[in-house]
């Protein structure tokens, strides 16, 4: 457990994953990131409708001992948040790529997607 | 250069993740902080705490030196007993909190990580200034310190020694043979559970003993525990962590350690404390349980009706209660038990209740 990288996703060097489907980008943290953090116990999600720029703080994920900022992999408007995480933050540990997604962003500028890492590049990095 | 514990290779084999703490590379966790925390509350855990220091105090006036430099009157502490105390500057602020053990004609003190040289120098300077015939010697490098904590700690260690551990009372200390290794045992700890601490020298004996304790505790579900759980365990009991709670200079009155002060003897810092006590307007360490969701962290502001009344020094999610808990210094007018304060966590104000420590009661594991 701890280092699954999915070939259908894009990645950032700060360990977020992103999956774009018809201008909506689903964002979460990677299996590697959740395994490094262990025991995620608190998630602070943004408000729906908030405008966010690529590289800005998107949300905060806390383990017992640490506070980690999650950065927006693309610019856009927050379209949806995974409310389930407010009561069950451990979902990120259990299912980082599926049930444990964080937010959906309405992508503003599709050209930003080009700078993201593909699965092979991310695998090399971790 | 980070100092590694002599147990570092074994800890790597056991799957530890490491952090830097006060110049040492120590395990932060093995399985997970939550799992290790609950293992200590319900069963038994084994900690390497070799980042803590060892200082021998010897000489005809060893007792006198301890009485002068700590808030305790050392003549009160009999042979084979230990005591939690604090070493103060003249202005009453804490240099370090420590346990001292009375072992025959000498004393061992256990300063915090990275404090050995400061404390040793201070004690020798004071011995010289006051013409006291005693010497402090930093022997930290010669010792490995282990802590065995949890309801099954006694049963675990009992399998390794002939001495009936029930005869070692709370805060008792003595030389003991454990699995063929001579060491100092004390009935002390930092978790609020039944527990013992061991001082082992020479350090090359520690690895085998560590392994033997894990083997002996296997039937009780023993696990190696990292510093992450050590911190959450102590915070649930309201125990102070020197690097957090004394940061910036705090007196034992501010840190709610008045119970450790023996006012009937003369000690360095006493005058300053008496003055502070008379004035009474000082901030005091206060325990908090969050009502709203959120995890307080050091340096978060504590507020009442939007106005700042204090600052968090330690905070975490309580693995037992599953809510945010914290300690911080609060203005004396706002810390009455059961009053509700707010903690500023990023852009949110999180409501919290003032509680009397321990935050997690003694019988938690039996009730849950």
Q: What's A99's domain CATH number? A: 2.40.50.100
A interface test, pick of B32, B39, B347 with most A CB neighbours within 10 Å = B32
- Determine, yes or no, domain membership for A80: yes
pLDDT band with cut points at 50, 70 and 90 for residue B117? very high
Q: Which of B33, B34, B294 sits opposite A42 (nearest CB)?
A: B294
Domains of chain B, by residue range, sit at 3-50+143-235, 55-133, 283-368
Q: What number is the average pLDDT over the span A28-39?
A: 94
Q: Which residues lie closer than 8 Å to B50 by C-beta, 6 or more apart?
A: B5, B6, B7, B24, B26, B143, B144, B145, B203
Say whether B317 and A60 touch across the interface (CB within 8 A): no
Q: Which pLDDT score is estimated for B47?
A: 98
pLDDT band with cut points at 50, 70 and 90 for residue B363? confident
Q: Which pLDDT score is estimated for A1?
A: 59
Q: What number is the average pLDDT over the span B331-341?
A: 97
- How close A38 gets to chain B, by Cα (Å)? 6
Angle between helices B227-236 and B33-42 (to 10 degrees): 60
Q: Which residues lie closer than 8 Å to A126 by C-beta, 6 or more apart?
A: A3, A5, A15, A30, A32
Q: Which pLDDT score is estimated for A2?
A: 78
How far is the CA of A67 from the CAs of B46, B195, B216, B223, B261, in angstroms?
27, 31, 37, 26, 37
3-state secondary structure of B94: strand
Class of B283-368 in CATH: mainly beta
* Contact predicate B354/B288, CB 8 Å: yes
Percent of chain B at pLDDT exceeding 90 = 98
Using a CB-CB cut-off of 8 Å, the residues of chain A touching B228 are: 64-65
Q: Classify residue B70 by its DSSP letter.
A: B
Say whether B34 and A62 touch across the interface (CB within 8 A): no
- Determine, yes or no, domain membership for A1: no
With a cut of 90, say whether residue B41 has pLDDT above it: yes
Q: What number is the average pLDDT over the span B144-158?
A: 98
Q: Per residue in B21-34, is it b (16+ CB within 10 Å) or e — as a string?
A: beebbbbbbbbbbb
Which of A111-115, B72-76, B238-242 comes out lowest in average pLDDT?
Answer: A111-115
Q: Which pLDDT score is estimated for A78?
A: 98
Q: What number is the average pLDDT over the span B246-274?
A: 97
Q: Which of B232, B294, B346 sits opposite A64 (nearest CB)?
A: B232
Phi, psi of B267 (to 5 degrees): -145, 160
Q: Which pLDDT score is estimated for B290?
A: 98
Using a CB-CB cut-off of 8 Å, the residues of chain B touching A39 are: 32-34
With a cut of 80, say whether residue B309 has pLDDT above it: yes
Q: Is the peptide bond before B202 cis (omega within 30 degrees of 0)?
A: yes
Helix residue ranges, H only, B170-317? 206-217, 227-236, 242-245, 270-279
Q: What number is the average pLDDT over the span B83-112?
A: 98
Domain count for chain A: 1
123-182 of B, contacting A, C-beta below 8 A: none
- The verdict on B349 touching A (C-beta cutoff 8 Å) is no
Q: What number is the average pLDDT over the span B57-83?
A: 98
Domain B3-50+143-235, CATH among 1.10.10.10, 3.30.365.10, 3.40.50.300, 3.30.1360.120: 3.30.1360.120
- How close A22 gets to chain B, by Cα (Å)? 33
The CATH H-level superfamily of B55-133 is: Aminomethyltransferase beta-barrel domains (3.30.70.1400)
Mean pLDDT of the residues in chain A? 95
Q: What number is the average pLDDT over the span A47-66?
A: 95
With a cut of 90, say whether residue B275 has pLDDT above it: yes
Say whether B319 and A38 touch across the interface (CB within 8 A): no
With a cut of 90, say whether residue A9 has pLDDT above it: yes
Which of residues B367 and A103 earns the better pLDDT score?
A103
pLDDT digit string, tens, across residues B182-201: 999 999 999 999 999 999 99
Q: What angle do CA A26, B33, B353 make, to 5 degrees?
A: 85
Q: Which of B33, B293, B294 sits opposite A64 (nearest CB)?
A: B33
Q: Which pLDDT score is estimated for B165?
A: 98
- How close A26 gets to chain B, by Cα (Å)? 25
Range of the domain at A113: 10-125
Mean pLDDT of the residues in chain B? 97
């Amino acid at each position: 457990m701890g280092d699954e990288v999915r070939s259908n996703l894009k990645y950032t060097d700060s360990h977020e994953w992103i999956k774009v489907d018809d201008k909506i980008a689903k964002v979460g943290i990677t299996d590697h990131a959740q395994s490094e953090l262990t025991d995620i116990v608190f998630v602070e999600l943004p408000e729906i409708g908030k405008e966010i720029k690529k590289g800005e703080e998107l949300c905060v994920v806390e383990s017992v001992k640490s506070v980690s900022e999650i950065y927006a992999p693309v610019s856009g408007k927050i379209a949806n948040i995974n409310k389930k995480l407010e009561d069950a933050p451990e979902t990120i540990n259990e299912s980082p790529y599926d049930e444990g997604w964080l937010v959906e962003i309405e992508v503003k500028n599709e050209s930003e997607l080009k700078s993201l890492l593909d699965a092979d590049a991310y695998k090399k990095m971790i | 250069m980070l100092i590694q514990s002599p147990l570092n290779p074994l800890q790597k084999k056991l799957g530890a993740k490491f952090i830097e703490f006060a110049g040492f590379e120590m395990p932060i966790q093995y399985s997970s902080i939550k799992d290790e925390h609950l293992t200590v509350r319900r069963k038994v855990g084994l900690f390497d705490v070799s980042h803590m220091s060892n200082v021998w105090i010897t000489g005809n006036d060893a007792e006198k030196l301890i009485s002068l430099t700590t808030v305790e009157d050392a003549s009160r502490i009999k042979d084979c007993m230990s005591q939690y105390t604090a070493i103060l500057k003249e202005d009453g602020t804490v240099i370090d909190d420590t346990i001292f053990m009375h072992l025959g004609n000498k004393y061992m003190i256990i300063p915090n990580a990275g404090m050995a040289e400061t404390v040793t120098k201070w004690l020798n300077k004071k011995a010289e200034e006051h013409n006291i015939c005693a010497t402090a010697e930093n022997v930290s490098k010669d010792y490995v310190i282990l802590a065995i904590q949890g309801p099954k700690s006694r049963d675990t260690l009992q399998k390794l020694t002939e001495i009936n551990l029930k005869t070692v009372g709370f805060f008792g200390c003595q030389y003991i043979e454990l699995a063929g290794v001579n060491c100092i045992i004390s009935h002390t700890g930092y978790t609020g559970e039944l527990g013992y601490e061991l001082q082992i020298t020479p350090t090359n004996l520690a690895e085998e003993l560590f392994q033997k304790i894990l083997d002996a505790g296997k039937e009780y579900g023993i696990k190696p525990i990292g510093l992450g759980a050590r911190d959450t365990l102590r915070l649930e009991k309201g125990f102070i962590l020197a690097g957090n709670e004394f940061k910036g200079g705090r007196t034992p009155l501010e840190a709610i350690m008045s119970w450790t002060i023996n006012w009937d003897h003369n000690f360095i810092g006493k005058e300053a404390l008496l003055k502070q006590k008379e004035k009474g307007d000082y901030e005091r360490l206060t325990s908090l349980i969050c009502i709203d969701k959120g995890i307080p962290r050091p340096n978060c502001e504590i507020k009442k009706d939007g106005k700042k009344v204090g600052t968090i020094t330690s905070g975490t999610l309580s693995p037992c209660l599953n809510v945010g808990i914290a300690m911080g210094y609060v203005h004396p007018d706002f810390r009455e038990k059961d009053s509700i304060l707010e903690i500023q966590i990023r852009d949110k104000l999180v409501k919290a209740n003032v509680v009397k420590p321990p935050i997690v009661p003694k019988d938690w594991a039996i009730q849950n």
